[in-house]
A and B are shown apart, each in its own frame.
Chain A
Amino acid sequence: MTSQQATQEVLRPPQPPGLIKWIRDNLFNSWFNSLLTVIFLPIVFFAVVNIIIWAFTVADWRAVTQFPMLYAVGQYPRDEVWRVGIGLSAIVFLLGASWGNWGGLLQSISIAFGIAFAVFAILPVQHDQLDLNMRLYLGGNVILLLLGYLIGRMKAVKGGHIVIGWGIVPFLAVFLLTGRRGSELLPDVATTLWGGLLVTFLLSAGGILLSFPIGVALALGRRSTLPVVKAFSTIFIETIRGVPLITILFMFSIILALFLPAESRIDRLVRALMAVTFFSAAYSAENVRGGLQAVPLGQIEAAKAVGMNGLQTMVFIVLPQAIRAVLPAIVGQFIALFKDTTLVVIVGINDLLGIGRSIINSDPEFVQLQLEVYLFIAIVYWIFSYLMSLASRRLEAALGVSTKL
């Protein structure tokens, strides 16, 4: 009896540690750590307090708050901005449908977007660009998102439909944005007028979607048994990885024209997209190659044994395992691509950073406000990159990358 009592005594769950104990364990657990805490606590405290005071009293955010539309779409003609709006709404709707159909990670993304739209729709500030129409549009997007969710939940809607939707909508959106020369309803809008987040997102999304398949092809090419294909892929990958992105951007924006027939003209934005795509593809190829090497030979032999041909083995057996194995690196490359799109500023394209610069240069008054503008831009990039890395971690956990390999 007594021994059983003793066991019960021992098995009682430990008390949750109190605040004092937590502080002692994590901040003052040795004389060295105590010293560090004593030194760094006041530094952090004063830094944070000073930054908050600066942001709310000293900092002048005019150069940021006056031009929300410029930051969003650049010089895109204001009469035609509804086209950007429709494109965005279509994507929001598809996102909602995907959330309804698959849930999981998409749920968090959708909810984040929904909250962002809702907050801006009811933001209690007076702003001439945040008029009733804009608020209604933003609110409408929240409703579209929910509508998409409900439609996505319907039995009749299959995942395949939504995938087809994702395949079609980007092309429709780009067509909507460019328009057609001489058209009444959709006059063409030169890409020189596009700017801001619109361009940043187009370059990133386009770059990610295009560079990944090219990267997979290059990785397979590099592991090919055909010497010609292997040599070409290797040279392509190593050359691009050996030079900075900026030289590739310049090559596509200046040198490429010399190597094409004189009458051909490729749009500036498309050339930048090509540069970003090829650059990122070379890095993706190396990531995928790492994954390919991690697939055991037995898998390929087993696939052959059950009668799969080379293509089937590759698509159904090798690539899924290879890509899953290196998913963190691939997403890391996507984040790098998103950040790298800022370099298009140097070849004169007004992405988010470029718009920030032109706003600063537009008014001598704003020259003193550079810190505010660049900090705002940094925060925007930070939020999206951080969300991507969070998504990557969730995806890794869902696929069991770290546990199974």
Chain B
Amino acid sequence: MAANQPSIQFKSSIPFYRDERVIKAFAQVVSAVLIIGFVIWAILNFLDAAEARNMTLTFDFLEEAAGFPISNPPIEYEPDMTFGRAFLVGLVNTLLVSVTGIVAATILGTLVALARLSSNWLLSKIALAYIEFHRNIPLLVLLFIWYFSAFTQLPSVKESIIWPGIIINQRGFYLTWPRLTETGQPFAIASAIGILLAIILYSVLRRRREITGKDTYYGPISLAILIILPLIGWLLSDGTPFQLDVPFLKGFNYKGGLRLTPEFTAMFLGLAMYTAAFIAEVVRAGIQAVDRGQIEAARAVGLSTNQVLSLVIMPQALRIIIPPMISQYLNLTKNSSLALAIGFQEVFSVGKIAINQAGRAVPVFALVMLTYLSLSLFTSFVLNIYNRRIQFVSR
């Protein structure tokens, strides 16, 4: 209440049940009592249920043998390993499909957005059809179409579809993939250093360019390093540093190459293509939000088309694009839990198997939810740092 009023008069004029401070305090106490009461009531109920059904509430089971198989684990796993290990396998699978999905969805989504904005009527309508198709159909239905009506109907190993660089059959997709040879070490190390150095030089020289205004040739210099260092590495390693690992038929199965299971591929394609439609809309909205006058002004001061795009449109569009993009990435990560429905074993599927084993429901569930929560928080934390860096500094 206003402090400049005579306090005695004020007190006498308002009864306590209409005093805002009293009402607020009362409301606080009531809501706190209700919430805490409800929680205690639920916990008491749960303790009864736990006693009646002989449930565990500890996380000891993480040390126990899991006892269930996981098909095609990305890291070494046997059913007699611990449940903690099984959970880790699930986590790796979730991360694999999320990260590859995010990269693919971003690239595809940006391409679709550019197609949507194209002055070519046909291309724009194709992009529109793509976006409207994916945005109005539930992801689960799309996954079922991919997996049950396409990937489970793939030919047997004997009748594999063989395309250049890829072999497709029931057991998965076998890609021809470059692998380092034993003598390839110098090449790998040199390439890694080259990429790292190029990135550092690019950002340092570019900053100096922005500060001093003198051309530091950051583009050509970093590109040169990116090419020269791996080249030196290639020369240092005798023979070819890497060779193509071509899948070949051995007995009744293909060996070698990079094998993607049908489950992973369905999940990856479904997730990436679904999210790409949403990302396309985000990117399109961001680009369209840039004022036309900005582009005209940039042209007027003599920037080239490329410069207009990279110096004027993209920095402004990114500010608008990044926040909704973050939530699309989070959606993709969370949607990867739908893999349960098509038998790709990620965090949630592994958790569900463990829930079905007696008495573990609550701790397993807590673990699964905590995993997703921390994944979400971590992703949004990292991306929000990036977001803060590119936003306007308000003066």
**1/0 contact string of A365-387 vs chain B (CB within 8 Å):** 00010110011011001100110
- A254 with B361: CB separation less than 8 A: yes
User: Closest chain A residue to B125 by CB distance?
Assistant: A44
Is A345's beta carbon under 8 Å from chain B? yes
**1/0 contact string of A152-174 vs chain B (CB within 8 Å):** 00000000000000000000000
A339: which B residues are within 8 A, CB to CB? 136-139
- The docked-state distance in angstroms from the alpha carbon of A385 to that of B142 is 15
B49: which A residues are within 8 A, CB to CB? 257-259, 262
Instruction: Scan residues 105-146 of chain B and give those whose CB is less than 8 A from a CB of chain A.
Output: 118-123, 126, 132-133, 135-142, 144-145
User: Closest chain A residue to B352 by CB distance?
Assistant: A250
Q: Which of A25-33, A73-81, A106-114, A179-187 contacts B (4 or more CB under 8 A)?
A: A25-33
Residue total for B at the interface (Cβ-Cβ under 8 A): 57
Is A232's beta carbon under 8 Å from chain B? yes
B150: which A residues are within 8 A, CB to CB? 371
- B35 with A228: CB separation less than 8 A: yes
- B31 with A374: CB separation less than 8 A: no
B361: which A residues are within 8 A, CB to CB? 254-255, 258
A15: which B residues are within 8 A, CB to CB? none
- B119 with A343: CB separation less than 8 A: no
**1/0 contact string of A28-60 vs chain B (CB within 8 Å):** 011001001100110010000000000000000
Query: With contacts defined as CB atoms under 8 Å apart, how many contacts are there between chain A and chain B in the complex?
Result: 158
* Residue in B35, B119, B365, B373 whose beta carbon sits within 8 Å of that of A242 in the complex: B373
- B141 with A381: CB separation less than 8 A: yes
Is B24's beta carbon under 8 Å from chain A? yes
Minimum CB–CB distance from A286 to chain B (whole Å) comes to 10
* Residue in B118, B369, B372 whose beta carbon sits within 8 Å of that of A33 in the complex: B118
Instruction: Scan residues 252-277 of chain A and give those whose CB is less than 8 A from a CB of chain B.
Output: 254-255, 257-262
- B362 with A228: CB separation less than 8 A: no
Interface size class of A (residues with CB under 8 A): 35 or more
Minimum CB–CB distance from A333 to chain B (whole Å) comes to 12
A227: which B residues are within 8 A, CB to CB? 28
- B27 with A377: CB separation less than 8 A: no
Is B52's beta carbon under 8 Å from chain A? yes
Given contacts A258-B49, A259-B42, A389-B136, contact A371 B120 (CB under 8 A): no
Known interface pairs A26-B121, A27-B121, A255-B365; 19 further A-B residue pairs with C-beta atoms within 8 A, sorted by A's residue number: A26-B122, A29-B120, A242-B373, A242-B377, A243-B369, A247-B337, A258-B45, A258-B46, A259-B42, A339-B138, A339-B139, A343-B338, A370-B149, A374-B141, A375-B145, A381-B137, A382-B137, A385-B135, A386-B136
A residues lining the B interface (CB < 8 Å): 26-27, 29-30, 33, 36-37, 40-41, 44, 225-229, 232, 239, 241-247, 250-251, 254-255, 257-262, 335, 339-340, 342-343, 345-346, 353, 357, 360, 368, 370-371, 374-375, 377-378, 381-382, 385-386, 389
